[in-house]
Amino acid sequence: MNRTTTFRCWFLRGATLPTVGAETVPTRYDVRFVLDGGVHSVTNIDPNTTLLNYLRDTLHKTGTKEGCAEGDCGACTVVAASLTSDGNVSYQAINACIALLPALDGCELLTVESLASSNNLHPVQQAMVAAHASQCGFCTPGFVMSLFALYKTVADITRQDVNDCLAGNLCRCTGYRPIVDAALDMRSLGMAIPADERSRLNTPAGHGTDDTHIVAMLHALQDEHTLQLQGTDIDGATRSLRAPRHLSEAYAFLETTPDATILAGGTDVGLWITKQHAELSNVLHLRNVDELRKIEEHAHHWFVGAGVSITRLHETLRDTWSSLDELWRRFASPPIRNAATIGGNVANGSPIGDSMPPLIALGAKVVLGSSDGARTLPLEQFYKGYRQTDLRAGELVLGVNLPKPTASQFFRVYKISKRMDQDISALCGAFAVDIQDDQIAECRIAFGGMAAIPARAHGCEQVLSGQVLDVVHEQPDVLESARTVLAADYTPISDLRASGRYRQLVAGNLLEKFLLELAECT
């Protein structure tokens, strides 16, 4: 039986009302989003249903394609439009293949079928035609939707913007030049549209549109209700998904359902469904919990909520650490970064996750919470073994406390992967030193990809502490000893991304690169 048959036979049965303590929580049993100008309500849906399967199998909107089903190729790219905190609309590309349908709750869904109007192609589509950029055709809808998000977001589009935007759309037939040409031309085609033919979607960013109608529709979808999907499939197996609005309710759900799968952006969890064919029985979806989506600035640190997307984190901190700017830009691709959360990256505990080495080097602490209260741990102490963390039953990652940089801090992070874009790290090294009296007063080094967990290089840190800034030229023996001790700090494995020997060698080279940059910049 295929998945389509399974969820067609899905029905709501015996849904109990969620409670927090003695109080019943207002609950809604449908996923609601704007589609084709109206509110689309989905009930009786298996919580494991991906957006792509729903689009193709149920709505028969087959413009959105499936290539890899793991967020890599971009053939399934669609755009989710949502309200921003200042009341505007943001347009973000996401990968429909790994997004579960509830991820759209409260948004507008735009697919390749949404763009053309009364026989006029959208300027993005016109530009693709004019530049002969359609090529194989299969991945074209995904390219169009990524470019559409760019068209609606950036007013002065540069080649770098286009390259970044297309990092998650793979062409393996012809090449990117015609597609990049189309991207650079699409705005002028949009600007040339006569005033009476302009619509919200075909007007380029910065050109002004009347968003009142869509803003009102999106506002109307925001409510205080918990989203609950619950039912029994044809084989009698129970499945449920709950998306609460408040932490207290999330904790209450975890107490009664300790085996629940916690779902944030789904860029890891989605693959369990599409690649490992997991069928998740109970899902706690955190996307609607406002407490997890805040970034708070304090005197000496930021609190970054677990539900903050990598895109938002990147935008917030891009000017603070230039080196982090490049790391976030090379973290997966825009559609993945739009969905992926910092909490998901930290909690997933992958030894090659990109956030942890810089966060550990910068002295970040992870904040964990449950109905018993909150606790804080240095991030490096959160990892206990390969994909094992200190998260206790009933606990959630609430966020990270990230110390602000001081004037005496020098920080660099380096990602090493086979491809520049959209590739998982073979290793990632982060280095932070505090400079006092022209010496390295304190040193924190953390690597991913060098051990079963993201971990500090304690031995190497000790060798470098108290040394002069230009170790490379003034104290080559110290550099040699730091390299040797660094090699002893880790025992990396060989896998498909790199051999253990390569990792050791490159880690030493990154150390030297960092020390050279330190000497040059101070």
Q: Which residues bind ligand FAD (CB under 6 A)?
A: 70-72, 261-269, 271, 286, 306, 331-332, 336, 339-341, 343-345, 347-348, 353-354, 391, 396-397, 424
Nearest residue (CB) to ligand FES, 174 versus 462: 174
Residue 73 contact, options ligand FES, ligand FAD, none, Cβ 5-8 Å cut-off depending on partner type: ligand FES
Neighbours of 296 (CB within 10 A): 11
Residue 397 contact, options ligand FES, ligand FAD, none, Cβ 5-8 Å cut-off depending on partner type: ligand FAD
Nearest residue (CB) to ligand FAD, 123 versus 399: 399
Give the nearest distance from C-beta 131 to ligand FES in angstroms: 12
Q: Provide the token pair at 350.
A: 């992958």
CA distance 258 to 292: 20
Nearest residue (CB) to ligand FES, 123 versus 141: 141
Nearest residue (CB) to ligand FES, 136 versus 220: 136
CA distance 330 to 425: 10
CA distance 452 to 293: 29
Q: Which of 348, 328, 346 is nearest to 338 (CA)?
A: 328
Nearest residue (CB) to ligand FAD, 71 versus 429: 71
Contact between residue 193 and residue 168 where contact means Cβ atoms under 8 Å apart: no
Counting beta carbons within 10 angstroms of the beta carbon of residue 184, is it exposed (0 to 12), middle (13 to 18) or buried (19 or more)? middle
Give the nearest distance from C-beta 171 to ligand FES in angstroms: 3
Residue 75 contact, options ligand FES, ligand FAD, none, Cβ 5-8 Å cut-off depending on partner type: ligand FES
Taking the alpha carbons of 163, 317, 422, 510 in that order, is the dihedral positive or negative? positive
Give the nearest distance from C-beta 226 to ligand FAD in angstroms: 17
Residue 358 contact, options ligand FAD, ligand FES, none, Cβ 5-8 Å cut-off depending on partner type: none
User: Closest residue (Cβ) to ligand FAD?
Assistant: 344
Residue 332 contact, options ligand FAD, ligand FES, none, Cβ 5-8 Å cut-off depending on partner type: ligand FAD
Nearest residue (CB) to ligand FES, 74 versus 344: 74
Give the nearest distance from C-beta 250 to ligand FAD in angstroms: 9
CA distance 132 to 14: 55
Q: Provide the token pair at 59.
A: 């709505």
Nearest residue (CB) to ligand FAD, 231 versus 270: 270
In a 3-state reduction of DSSP, which class is residue 344? helix
Name the residue with tokens 């880690």.
Answer: 507
Counting beta carbons within 10 angstroms of the beta carbon of residue 228, is it exposed (0 to 12), middle (13 to 18) or buried (19 or more)? buried
CA separation, residue 240 to residues 14, 75, 243, 253, 455 (Å):
11, 29, 10, 11, 36
Question: Residue 123: phi, psi to the nearest 5?
Answer: -50, -35
Give the nearest distance from C-beta 379 to ligand FAD in angstroms: 14
Residue 345 contact, options ligand FES, ligand FAD, none, Cβ 5-8 Å cut-off depending on partner type: ligand FAD
Residue 306 contact, options ligand FAD, ligand FES, none, Cβ 5-8 Å cut-off depending on partner type: ligand FAD
CA distance 394 to 385: 20
Residue 113 contact, options ligand FAD, ligand FES, none, Cβ 5-8 Å cut-off depending on partner type: none
Give the nearest distance from C-beta 153 to ligand FAD in angstroms: 21
Give the nearest distance from C-beta 327 to ligand FAD in angstroms: 9
Ramachandran region, residue 36 (left: φ > 0; alpha: ψ -120 to 50; beta: rest):
left
Residue 427: DSSP 8-state: E
Counting beta carbons within 10 angstroms of the beta carbon of residue 28, is it exposed (0 to 12), middle (13 to 18) or buried (19 or more)? middle
Q: Which of 155, 163, 160, 191 is nearest to 179 (CA)?
A: 163
CA distance 325 to 322: 5
DSSP string, 173-193: SS-SHHHHHHHHHHHHHHHTS
Nearest residue (CB) to ligand FES, 171 versus 498: 171
Give the nearest distance from C-beta 333 to ligand FES in angstroms: 9
Residue 424 contact, options ligand FES, ligand FAD, none, Cβ 5-8 Å cut-off depending on partner type: ligand FAD
Give the nearest distance from C-beta 225 to ligand FES in angstroms: 30
Nearest residue (CB) to ligand FAD, 40 versus 314: 314
Residues contributing to the site for ligand FES (CB under 6 A)? 66-69, 71-76, 95, 97, 135-136, 138-139, 171-174
Give the nearest distance from C-beta 134 to ligand FES in angstroms: 7
Residue 357 contact, options ligand FES, ligand FAD, none, Cβ 5-8 Å cut-off depending on partner type: none
Give the nearest distance from C-beta 68 to ligand FES in angstroms: 4
Residue 139 contact, options ligand FES, ligand FAD, none, Cβ 5-8 Å cut-off depending on partner type: ligand FES
| Amino acid present at 453 | I
